[in-house]
């Protein structure tokens, strides 16, 4: 009787396979393959060889293509690219923040697998958890919950308090690798601290490392609807100052989440593709702080009853804003705005440093019949499954004055009749770029669009904002008395000295200037506001000579103190996957007023191809002066 085959050795051909599966940067001696793609192994047998026709070998491998992107440029960008940009600022000043995702750096794959094993799902039922890990829907929810630490020993502690003495200010981070390695090195203790862009960046690293196409999305003027009625309630006092919201409904200046590409066999046909996942701990989903995956197409079509958390995601991009005037202990509904929430939804372009505006993926054009139809569909679906909150959303939609940039809106609209027409226009205009350390100069433009004489009193104020929309107390106020003849325009000049605003700034460097105008002997009020993001001069990075693998490379970093005062505790951090083995920290100490400085760092690149250097300068006066430089590293001379 012929003896059966006995395997003596299995050669997984890790090096050869990993190159073809684009995982060679992770390892060359461990087999790391992507599902849906062929790979080779070699079997060696004892005593005799394989005989075709006589011997049968059955090899069972369960794979799938539920995360397959058929575009090679998209695969390169959303799976392989290990650096990118996260967009911050405000809708009138969008700033790219460079980020080192570093998904192929040493030990990151093991840290990502450790993250899965530390999840509550694995701790409660390891067998079921492992059996479900082939599902991108399941795995994305697990990872989403593990990026924040609200329910478990997740990667990051969130902090929006402006007090970071026992950790790192979220604005200082420039990459994911240092955070993930710190979490691992401390026995999986949450790293302090993160905010939305840091949560999203870490999730991007983990998901790309696990082979799921992922990108980072920024939504400007992002709604946070806490009671699920698709209405963001904002409260103002008689000076136009925005008040802290008791319900915690807010419009975030910007908010950052992820999109992951996957099939959605759990949903009706047509809802696969890009899915929203938001690791920032805002609201719970099935008892855990995670959000998604919510189909982007379902969000656009108002199908808010589809899993997971689609209603919350819809409100982030397409909720309406309701303004309330607070006086004498009472609240009066005075204005409904349908256009404020969800602007310039942005992500990095494919294989380019440019910004892609993908707003049309999330919603139809604001104010169009389709957009309003979708909003009403979403609202009816929510009404069908739950009771309304204390401030009920009217089923009859009311038209509001469009808001473009800092256009005015009428607050005297209790009935919201079409005949209500704003007869006076107020608008802010900056006279200089809003640079940190300089006075802020601007004018208030007043235009009488009627044929009647107008006598106005205008209260002006300025207050700092956190990027999540939370207001800080006003630090500047002014009153203007403006008389306008028929169709006359006038300006009122304003200046806020640096010495006045510097001590009140938050890390986000956001200032909201507002004006509330009222006409003499008339109940009409006009509110206008403008959000200003103060800018720093960026860090300049020069690469001195050709970048070649395993050859020394000099990198010059030029930076300056933009302020007219001494700054202390200056620290420069520099990193870049494939260029530096770990984040470089250089203690600078004190920088004199307006002082320019430079340092030269030496490194040895260890990976070829397109790379990026990211840098950040912090001090006791500022936290996030940033810069970047793209570098192409050759294999040989």
pLDDT in tens, 357-370: 999 999 999 989 99
Distance CA 347, CA 276 (A): 13
Distance in angstroms between the alpha carbons of the first and the last residue of the chain: 61
**pLDDT above 60: residue 384:** yes
Place of tokens 């530096």: 580
Residues in binding site for Ca(2+): 318, 320, 366, 371
> In terms of Cα–Cα distance, which of 366, 364, 389 is closest to 379?
389
Cross-strand bridge partners of residue 630: 612
| Beta sheet of 609-618, edge-to-edge order | 584-591, 567-575, 609-618, 625-633
The backbone torsions φ and ψ at residue 73, rounded to the nearest 5 degrees and listed phi first, read -60, -40
Asked if domains 1-63 and 424-533 share a fold, the reply is: yes
Place of tokens 């050759």: 634
Confidence category of residue 246, pLDDT binned at 50, 70, 90: low
CATH number of the domain at 72-387, out of 1.10.30.50, 3.90.260.10, 3.90.1640.30, 3.40.50.970?
A: 3.90.260.10
**Quick check: helix, strand or coil at residue 157?**
strand
* Token code pair at residue 216: 């980072």
φ/ψ region of 246 (left if φ > 0, alpha if ψ in -120 to 50, else beta) reads alpha
**pLDDT above 50: residue 400:** no
**pLDDT above 50: residue 448:** yes
Contact in structure between 227 and 198 (CB atoms under 8 Å): no
Place of tokens 């990108």: 215
Question: Tell me, what's the pLDDT at 211?
Answer: 96
Candidate ranges 59-63, 141-145, 404-408; pick with highest mean pLDDT: 141-145
Over residues 307-360, the pLDDT tens digits come to 999 999 999 999 999 888 888 888 877 778 888 899 999 999 999 999 999 999
Distance CA 80, CA 567 (A): 40
CATH architecture of 424-533: Sandwich (2.60)
Round the CA-based radius of gyration of the chain to a whole number and report it. Answer: 28
Q: Is 196 a catalytic site residue?
A: yes
Handedness of CA 146, 152, 153, 156 (dihedral sign): positive
Q: Is 278 a catalytic site residue?
A: yes
Contact in structure between 194 and 185 (CB atoms under 8 Å): no
The neighbour count for residue 340, using CB atoms within 10 Å, is 20
> In terms of Cα–Cα distance, which of 147, 153, 150, 191 is closest to 173?
191
**pLDDT above 50: residue 110:** yes
**pLDDT above 70: residue 419:** no
As assigned by CATH, the class of the 1-63 domain is: mainly beta
* Strand spans (E) along 225-354: 231-236, 250-262, 273-277, 294-295, 320-327, 330-337, 343-348
Q: Is 65 a catalytic site residue?
A: no
Extents of the domains making up the chain = 1-63, 72-387, 424-533, 540-633
Mean pLDDT value of segment 99-119: 97
Residues in binding site: 318, 320, 366, 371
As assigned by CATH, the class of the 540-633 domain is: mainly beta
Over residues 222-231, the pLDDT tens digits come to 999 888 889 9
**pLDDT above 70: residue 416:** no
Q: What is the pTM of this model?
A: 0.89
Q: Which of 152, 278, 337, 508 is catalytic?
A: 278
Contact in structure between 242 and 324 (CB atoms under 8 Å): no
φ/ψ region of 578 (left if φ > 0, alpha if ψ in -120 to 50, else beta) reads left
Over residues 540-575, the pLDDT tens digits come to 999 999 999 999 999 999 999 999 999 999 999 999
Over residues 510-523, the pLDDT tens digits come to 999 999 898 888 87
Distance CA 175, CA 97 (A): 10
* Token code pair at residue 493: 């000049």
* Token code pair at residue 292: 């998604």
Q: Between vectors from CA 147 to CA 143 and to CA 153, what angle results, nearest 5°?
A: 105
Query: What is the SS3 assignment for 49-80?
Result: CCCCCCCCCCCCCCCCCCCCCCCHHHHHHHHH
Mean pLDDT value of segment 593-613: 97
Distance CA 474, CA 494 (A): 15
* DSSP letter, residue 428: E
Contacts of 436 (CB under 8 A, 6+ apart): 509, 534, 535, 536, 562, 563, 622
* Token code pair at residue 291: 């959000």
* Token code pair at residue 24: 């060679």
> In terms of Cα–Cα distance, which of 431, 435, 533 is closest to 87?
533
Over residues 34-82, the pLDDT tens digits come to 877 889 999 998 888 888 888 888 877 766 689 999 999 999 999 999 9
The backbone torsions φ and ψ at residue 310, rounded to the nearest 5 degrees and listed phi first, read -65, -35
* Token code pair at residue 567: 């700054």
Cross-strand bridge partners of residue 97: 86
Largest CA distance in the chain: 112
**pLDDT above 60: residue 414:** no
Confidence category of residue 395, pLDDT binned at 50, 70, 90: very low
**pLDDT above 60: residue 397:** no
Mean pLDDT value of segment 151-175: 95
**pLDDT above 50: residue 466:** yes
Question: Tell me, what's the pLDDT at 76?
Answer: 97
Residue 132: exposure state from Cβ atoms within 10 A (0-12, 13-18, ≥19) = middle
The backbone torsions φ and ψ at residue 621, rounded to the nearest 5 degrees and listed phi first, read -110, -25
Contacts of 314 (CB under 8 A, 6+ apart): 230, 299, 302, 304, 378
Q: Which of 196, 204, 494, 570 is catalytic?
A: 196
Q: Which of 21, 255, 335, 492 is catalytic?
A: 255
* DSSP letter, residue 578: T
Question: Tell me, what's the pLDDT at 385?
Answer: 79
């Amino acid at each position: 009787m012929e003896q059966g085959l006995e395997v003596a050795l299995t050669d997984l051909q890790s090096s050869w396979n990993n190159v073809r599966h684009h995982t060679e940067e992770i390892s060359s001696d461990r087999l790391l393959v992507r599902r849906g793609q062929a790979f080779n192994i070699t079997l060696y047998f004892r005593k005799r060889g394989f005989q075709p026709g006589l011997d049968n070998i059955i090899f069972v491998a369960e794979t799938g293509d539920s995360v397959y992107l058929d575009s090679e440029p998209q695969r390169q960008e959303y799976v392989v690219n290990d650096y990118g940009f996260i967009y911050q600022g405000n809708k009138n000043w969008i700033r790219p923040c460079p980020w080192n995702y570093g998904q192929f750096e040493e030990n990151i794959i093991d840290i990502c697998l450790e993250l899965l094993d530390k999840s509550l799902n694995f701790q409660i039922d390891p067998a079921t958890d492992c059996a479900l890990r082939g599902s991108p829907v399941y795995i994305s929810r697990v990872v989403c919950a593990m990026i924040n630490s609200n329910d478990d020993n997740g990667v990051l502690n969130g902090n929006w308090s402006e007090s970071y003495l026992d950790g790192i200010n979220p604005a200082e981070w420039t990459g994911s690798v240092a955070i993930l390695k710190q979490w691992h090195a401390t026995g999986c203790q949450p790293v302090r601290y993160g905010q939305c862009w840091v949560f999203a960046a870490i999730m991007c690293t983990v998901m790309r490392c696990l082979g799921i196409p992922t990108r980072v999305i920024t939504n400007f003027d992002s709604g946070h609807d806490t009671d699920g009625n698709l209405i963001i309630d904002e409260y103002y006092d008689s000076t136009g100052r925005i008040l802290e919201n008791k319900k915690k409904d807010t419009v975030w200046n910007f908010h950052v989440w992820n999109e992951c590409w996957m099939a959605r066999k759990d949903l009706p046909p047509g809802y696969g593709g890009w899915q929203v996942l938001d690791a920032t701990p805002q609201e719970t989903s099935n008892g855990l702080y995670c959000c998604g995956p919510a189909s982007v197409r379902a969000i656009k079509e108002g199908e808010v009853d589809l899993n997971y958390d689609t209603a919350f995601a819809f409100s982030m991009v397409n909720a309406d804003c309701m303004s309330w005037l607070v006086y004498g202990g009472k609240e009066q509904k005075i204005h409904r705005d349908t256009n404020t929430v969800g602007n310039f939804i942005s992500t990095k372009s494919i294989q380019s440093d440019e910004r892609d505006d993908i707003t049309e993926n999330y919603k139809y054009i604001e104010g169009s019949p389709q957009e309003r139809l979708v909003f009403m569909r979403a609202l009816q679906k929510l009404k069908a499954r739950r009771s309304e909150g204390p401030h009920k959303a009217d089923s009859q939609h009311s038209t509001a004055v469009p808001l473009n940039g800092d256009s005015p809106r009428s607050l005297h609209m209790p009935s919201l009749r079409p005949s209500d027409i704003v007869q006076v226009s107020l608008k802010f205009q900056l006279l200089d770029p809003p640079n940190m350390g300089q006075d802020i100069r601007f004018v208030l433009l007043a235009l009488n669009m009627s044929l009647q004489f107008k006598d106005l009193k205008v209260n002006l104020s300025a207050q700092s904002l956190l990027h999540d929309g939370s207001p800080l107390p006003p630090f500047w106020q002014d009153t203007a008395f403006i008389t306008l003849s028929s169709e006359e325009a006038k300006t009122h000049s304003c200046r806020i000295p640096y010495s006045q605003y510097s001590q009140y700034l938050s890390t986000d460097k956001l200032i909201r200037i507002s004006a509330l105008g009222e006409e003499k002997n008339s109940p009409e009020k006009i509110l206008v506001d403008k959000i200003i993001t103060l800018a720093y001069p960026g860090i300049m990075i020069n690469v001195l000579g050709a970048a070649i693998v395993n050859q020394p490379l000099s990198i010059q970093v030029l930076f300056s103190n933009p302020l007219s005062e001494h700054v202390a505790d200056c620290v420069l951090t520099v990193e870049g996957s494939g260029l530096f083995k770990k984040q470089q920290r250089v203690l600078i100490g004190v920088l004199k007023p307006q002082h320019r400085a430079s340092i030269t760092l030496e490194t040895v690149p260890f990976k070829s191809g397109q790379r990026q250097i990211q840098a950040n300068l912090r001090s006791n006066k500022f936290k996030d002066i940033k810069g970047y430089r793209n570098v192409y590293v050759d294999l040989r001379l």
